[in-house]
Amino acid sequence: MTQPLIELATFGAGCFWGTEATFSRLTGVVKTSVGYMGGHFENPCYLDVLSRITGHAEVAQVEYDPQQISYETLLENFWQCHDPTSLNRQGADRGEQYRSVIFYHTPEQRAIAQRSKAELEQSGRYDQAIVTPIEPASTYWLASEDHQQYFEKRASQKAVSN
């Protein structure tokens, strides 16, 4: 039996815990992780990024099987899980680390993301401009283990303590 071809997608949509939770539930998503991308600081930790000295965004990296879920479907979920008109903030979280951003891994992803963004802008769904940049993926710095699958871990801890 042949292994499925797995592709990467990387999205920043505010706090990475919620972004990861959004994608981890989708059929065709093989694995998710959280980390940092788009900055200028080597091997940042959570406190470095939180202090706003690194230029990184909190991101969810998604490994997916394109035969089960399309990049277009991932983008639909991305647009729905946050406010792409909010510059450097989502809800109560403020700072460039919480920016809305799509990091593309291939020229095809770039074209699909640009088309998706243009369609959303033309849809009239938002009264304000979409501020989400579409940038080439750069070095992905994995966040520490305590940040991975954060909501899932907290739910299981609560279940054990009850």
pLDDT in tens, 113-139: 999 999 999 999 999 999 999 999 999
DSSP code for 93: E
Domains by residue range for the chain, with CATH: 7-161 (3.30.1060.10)
Rounded to two decimals, the pTM is: 0.91
Active site residue 15: yes
For residues 49-70, average pLDDT? 96
Residue 151 has pLDDT above 90, yes or no: no
The continuous run of DSSP H or E covering 20 comes out as: helix 16-24
The neighbouring-strand residues paired with 134 are: 102
Q: In the predicted model, is pLDDT for residue 161 greater than 80?
A: no
The 3-state DSSP class for residue 104 equals strand
Which DSSP helix (H) or strand (E) runs through 31? strand 29-37
Burial class (CB in 10 A: 0-12, 13-18, 19+), 19: buried
Catalytic residue among 9, 15, 37, 62: 15
pLDDT in tens, 15-48: 999 999 999 999 999 999 999 999 999 999 999 9
